[in-house]
């Protein structure tokens, strides 16, 4: 039972590059979320999805895009990376209430 | 906009002492979560508080919820070094989207 799997665990990007953070869950949860955590701060919601084919913006969506073509997968796309996107990114899934978090992706943009 | 505030932001305490972390939120909610995060790790669920007056206890940690005061507390009894971590509260505003709004976290350092 893998739960929520995030890849990669670490990544260094150059300014202007793009990348996709992968998130997969095997619990058949409808709800999925992407948060970012800046040093010494709480979690800010980037995007979320309430089911396959449905996504919506959270508090800090600028510079990111998502898709949800299947129940299992919820990738986060960074276009034209900027230093302000240096952060730790957490994916989470939920059946109805309560989250299961992935282990996180630590991203540095230089 | 729902705001969730925790205090203190940093807490240094000695082993054996008691202390309380406070979580205040700005809108009606009857569902609140507490998480623990170790350095460089993900978030681990500690407690789910589902109604006014709810109290949950696990080991040296006890969480409570007062929905009328919009306040939750996490009480630490006889702290030990293993409790050193960052603790987050998160509020469910009750929307169909099931989003959680997180507090800024309390970094707890228990000194021997």
| Domain CATH number, residue B15 | 2.60.40.10
| Span B33-57, average pLDDT | 92
Domain that holds residue B26: 4-111
From residue A30, alpha-carbon distances to A48, A72, A101, B18 in Å are 11, 9, 14, 40
How many folded domains does chain A comprise? 1
Whether residue A109 is contained in a domain is answered as: no
Distance CA A33, CA B77 (A): 34
Smallest Cα distance from B80 to chain A, Å: 22
B:13-32 residues touching chain A, CB 8 A cutoff: 31
Instruction: Kindly report, residue by residue over B5-44, the tens digit of the pLDDT.
Output: 999 999 999 999 999 999 999 988 878 999 999 998 999 9
Smallest Cα distance from B78 to chain A, Å: 26
Decide if pLDDT at A106 tops 90: yes
Q: Measured between CB atoms, which of A42, A48, A56 is closest to B104?
A: A42
Domain that holds residue A38: 4-103
Confidence band (pLDDT; 50, 70, 90) for B85?
A: very high
Closest CA to A30 of A48, A45, A46: A48
How many folded domains does chain B comprise? 1
Q: Hey, what's the torsion of the CAs at B43, A102, B59, B93, to 10 degrees?
A: 60
| Domain CATH number, residue A26 | 2.60.40.10
pLDDT (0 to 100) of residue B97: 80
Q: Quick check: A99 and B45 in contact, CB under 8 A?
A: yes
């Amino acid at each position: 039972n893998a739960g929520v799997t995030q890849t990669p665990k670490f990544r260094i990007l150059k300014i202007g590059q793009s990348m996709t953070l992968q998130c997969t869950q095997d619990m058949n949860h409808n709800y999925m979320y992407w948060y970012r955590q800046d040093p010494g701060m709480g979690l800010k919601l980037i995007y979320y999805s309430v089911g396959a084919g449905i996504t919506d913006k959270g508090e800090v969506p600028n510079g990111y895009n998502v898709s949800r073509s299947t129940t299992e997968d919820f990738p986060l796309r960074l276009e034209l990376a900027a230093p302000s996107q240096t952060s730790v990114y957490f994916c989470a899934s939920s059946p109805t209430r309560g989250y299961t978090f992935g282990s996180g992706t630590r991203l540095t943009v230089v | 906009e729902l705001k969730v505030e925790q205090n203190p932001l940093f807490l240094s305490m000695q082993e054996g002492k008691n202390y309380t972390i406070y979580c205040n939120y700005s809108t009606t909610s009857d569902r609140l979560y507490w998480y623990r995060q170790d350095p460089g790790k993900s978030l681990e669920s500690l407690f789910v508080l589902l109604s006014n007056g709810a109290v949950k206890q696990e080991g040296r940690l006890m969480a409570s919820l007062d929905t009328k005061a919009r306040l939750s507390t996490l009480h630490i009894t006889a702290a030990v070094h293993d409790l050193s971590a960052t603790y987050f509260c998160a509020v469910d505003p009750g929307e169909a989207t099931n989003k959680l709004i997180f507090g800024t976290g309390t970094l707890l350092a228990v000194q021997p």
